[in-house]
Amino acid sequence: MNIAKAAVLGAGTMGAGIAAHLANAGIPTLLLDIAPQDESITDKNQIVNSLFDAAKKLKPAPFMLADNAKLITTGNFTDDLHKIKDCDFVIEAVVENLEIKHKLYAEVDKHRKPGAVIASNTSGIPIDSIAEPFSDDFKAHFVGIHFFNPPRYMKLVEVIPGSKTSGEIACKISGFLDQRLGKGVVPAKDRPNFIANRIGVFGMMATIHEMIAGGWTPTEVDQMTGKAIGHASSATFRTSDLVGLDVTAHVTNNLYPAVPDDEDRDVFVLPELIQTLLDKKLLGDKTKGGFFKKSKDAEGKRVILELDLNTFEYKPQVKTKFPSLDAAKGIEDKAKRVKALVWGDDRVGEFLWKTTSRVSRYAANRIPEIADTIVEIDNAIKWGFGWEIGVFEAWDAIGVTESVERMRKEGQAIPANVEKMLASGATSFYKNEGGNHSFYDLVSGEYKPMPARPGVLIFKDIKERTGVIKSNPGASLIDIGDGVACLEFHSKMNSIGGDTVPMMNFAIEEVEKNFTGLVVGNQGGNFSAGANIMMLLLAAQEEEWDDINMMVRALQNAVMRLRYSAKPVVTAPYGLTLGGGCEIAMHGDKVRAAGETYIGLVEVGVGVIPAGCGTKEMTMRAMDAAAKAPDADPLAFPKRHLKRSAWARSQLRHRKAARSDSFATATRSR
């Protein structure tokens, strides 16, 4: 769908963030908000401009480049709403109040462009009730689009068609959100709080009830419910502190009356303990104290205090030693780790079994109420709550047959669709047969191929299906079809080491002989953390200067072969792309960089000069720029580039802080 111009109505937390992300995708965007009520204020854009200015200063930054902000034009609902007549996409993000939204949509309806998509970012108001007063044509073009906060960094966007939304509109806008904005789109039904928050908040409340019943401390619960089981590192209560207990309570209180038929609805009854915390305004970071509180000790060192749930006083945080959690740290495979912990015959196992099995049963019972398949629930929870392993993936890991047996023994009601699945002989929710993935469709009662994602290749699956052309511990060459080969790094942090360079040379030779082109790309956390400096360090300590010379030359030659290969080379950096990784990325014929790429020559920070052609490349680029400005001092150009390399390490630190911040904020979603 071609969206040449967009409008965002409401410039608060979500509106400003969505507008920034539209601008990140290069889309000119109109950002409107209310004019000040106070008539003595003559500037009608005062509210929108102050919200927009605040957004520009936010950390982590909503804009990928500060200049993207120039694509945004601000205005107010009183004077400028008619300007939406030029917009192909209008998304509303004003306060969560049906009456206010209705009033605004009545104006939108007067000015909207024929065919334009009109969307609401509501987190809880039914889409049908927002569209209810309007024409069928309005309804056909109206859809719920639920971004998570912060919109640039959170992958999940739920698309919620109302009962009269045109299928074509929902489909086209989903394509736009996926391909143009880079989001993970999950189709959701128009049911209370959609998918991620319905399941995520259920999980949070189930955990809180279990903590109270078992007399656990918030720290102990976080030790069990974070990274250990493949959930976000902020686990349960650090997440609650980031989000704000009032927000969680608000969603919970909304859900209880909205889901009268839920078999496990009582989980949404706020325990007395939570009510006390709300009354005492112990909401989390926003009130400078929730389940945890940041403080300083007598020596001024930063310490974390935790709330004593009996006295409501803060005390030093105490991490309990759990042998099972320590042992699990050694289990690299997430699925195996979850299985070991949940089946553990200690208190940790008991806690995790109770919470995990309760969430699993609840999620299965929500199909097809909130989503058609398990895939949507797993994607929503992974992309919206930062879980590395979805509800049904975890259930597979634990073992469906064995866990259902245990539930039965304990007198738990088994979801009818899961009973049926087991009765049919199917024993897992997902299957992987030689790189061909399928999922069990709980509605039709059969396995179906995982939904295809056009344009997406999963290297792991390709390798399972077709094998590799050549591989060593650091890199592989894969045939990805259409006459194209891919050079994939897969060392730790995808660093460039002794294995990478020979594979680069082999890749060029093979592609020049047998392929049309080469892609240098990989799939993991980061494109490459750079050359393995350890090897250089050891050689320097041994004063093996000839060896160092050889290593550097080998990398330079391989990098230059990418540049001068007889066949086209496309590099595809993303995430950290540092040092040698940056040098490789710069030497393709074309670079297809992901939006979230943190790229640079950072070697100076560890005491070495970028020597894999990065310094040469930056100088050449600087001189190209100098040639275009004949009146300027030519030396100023390389100077600027060299300075950038010299400072890159400190900028990286800043970036890293932004990334971890972004993760923290990422969990601040409703």
State the residues that interact with ligand NAI by CB under 6 A. 10-15, 33-34, 47, 51, 93-96, 100, 104, 121-123, 146-149, 669-670
Neighbouring CB atoms inside 10 A of 117's CB total 25
Rounded to a whole number of angstroms, the minimum distance from the CB of residue 214 to ligand NAI is: 30
Q: Residue 502 is inside which H or E element, if any?
A: helix 500-514
Classify residue 422 as exposed, middle or buried by CB count within 10 Å of its CB (0-12, 13-18, 19+).
middle
The smaller minimum CB distance to ligand NAI, of residues 219 and 248, is found at 248
Rounded to a whole number of angstroms, the minimum distance from the CB of residue 265 to ligand NAI is: 22
Return the residue nearest ligand NAI (CB atom): 12
Rounded to a whole number of angstroms, the minimum distance from the CB of residue 32 to ligand NAI is: 9
508 in helix, strand or coil? helix
Half-sphere exposure of 245 (CA within 13 A, CB side): 25
Return the closest-CA partner of residue 8 out of 87, 107, 97, 114: 87
The smaller minimum CB distance to ligand NAI, of residues 193 and 645, is found at 193
Q: What is the C-alpha R_g of the chain?
A: 27
What letter does residue 606 receive in the DSSP assignment?
G
Q: How far apart are CA 174 and CA 181, in angstroms?
A: 10
The smaller minimum CB distance to ligand NAI, of residues 194 and 216, is found at 194
Q: How far apart are CA 251 and CA 589, in angstroms?
A: 50
The smaller minimum CB distance to ligand NAI, of residues 100 and 457, is found at 100
Q: What HEC string does 367-386 produce?
A: CCCCCCCHHHHHHHHHHHHC
Rounded to a whole number of angstroms, the minimum distance from the CB of residue 647 to ligand NAI is: 34
Rounded to a whole number of angstroms, the minimum distance from the CB of residue 142 to ligand NAI is: 15
Q: How far apart are CA 537 and CA 544, in angstroms?
A: 10
Contacts of 224 by beta carbon, 8 Å cutoff, 6+ apart: 235, 322, 325, 341, 348, 351, 352
Question: In angstroms, how far is CA 655 from the centroid of its own chain?
Answer: 16
The smaller minimum CB distance to ligand NAI, of residues 384 and 610, is found at 384
Return the closest-CA partner of residue 431 out of 415, 445, 454, 448: 448
Residue 124: C-alpha distances to residues 99, 368, 619 (Å): 14, 19, 54
Rounded to a whole number of angstroms, the minimum distance from the CB of residue 381 to ligand NAI is: 16
- Quote the tokens at residue 291: 């389940």
Return the closest-CA partner of residue 24 out of 63, 72, 51, 59: 63
Residue 260: C-alpha distances to residues 181, 206, 251, 569 (Å): 36, 18, 15, 58
Return the closest-CA partner of residue 456 out of 389, 408, 521: 521
Return the closest-CA partner of residue 77 out of 13, 179, 7: 7
Rounded to a whole number of angstroms, the minimum distance from the CB of residue 53 to ligand NAI is: 13
Rounded to a whole number of angstroms, the minimum distance from the CB of residue 148 to ligand NAI is: 6
Contacts of 456 by beta carbon, 8 Å cutoff, 6+ apart: none
Rounded to a whole number of angstroms, the minimum distance from the CB of residue 146 to ligand NAI is: 6
The smaller minimum CB distance to ligand NAI, of residues 19 and 578, is found at 19
Extended strands (E) in 490-547: 517-520
Rounded to a whole number of angstroms, the minimum distance from the CB of residue 652 to ligand NAI is: 29
Rounded to a whole number of angstroms, the minimum distance from the CB of residue 426 to ligand NAI is: 36
Rounded to a whole number of angstroms, the minimum distance from the CB of residue 225 to ligand NAI is: 21
The smaller minimum CB distance to ligand NAI, of residues 121 and 428, is found at 121
Q: How far apart are CA 14 and CA 248, in angstroms?
A: 17
Residue 204: C-alpha distances to residues 225, 243, 265, 526, 656 (Å): 10, 12, 13, 30, 28
The smaller minimum CB distance to ligand NAI, of residues 59 and 315, is found at 59
Rounded to a whole number of angstroms, the minimum distance from the CB of residue 415 to ligand NAI is: 29
The smaller minimum CB distance to ligand NAI, of residues 97 and 549, is found at 97
Rounded to a whole number of angstroms, the minimum distance from the CB of residue 124 to ligand NAI is: 6
Rounded to a whole number of angstroms, the minimum distance from the CB of residue 87 to ligand NAI is: 17
The smaller minimum CB distance to ligand NAI, of residues 93 and 569, is found at 93
What letter does residue 529 receive in the DSSP assignment?
-
Question: In angstroms, how far is CA 360 from the centroid of its own chain?
Answer: 22
The smaller minimum CB distance to ligand NAI, of residues 268 and 322, is found at 268
Q: How far apart are CA 194 and CA 632, in angstroms?
A: 57
The smaller minimum CB distance to ligand NAI, of residues 48 and 618, is found at 48
The smaller minimum CB distance to ligand NAI, of residues 202 and 395, is found at 202
The smaller minimum CB distance to ligand NAI, of residues 33 and 510, is found at 33
- Quote the tokens at residue 244: 């704000």
List helix spans (H) across 233-319.
237-243, 245-258, 272-279
| Residue tagged 């803060």 (tokens) | 314
The smaller minimum CB distance to ligand NAI, of residues 33 and 80, is found at 33
ω into 323 cis (within 30 of 0):
no
Q: How far apart are CA 32 and CA 9, in angstroms?
A: 5
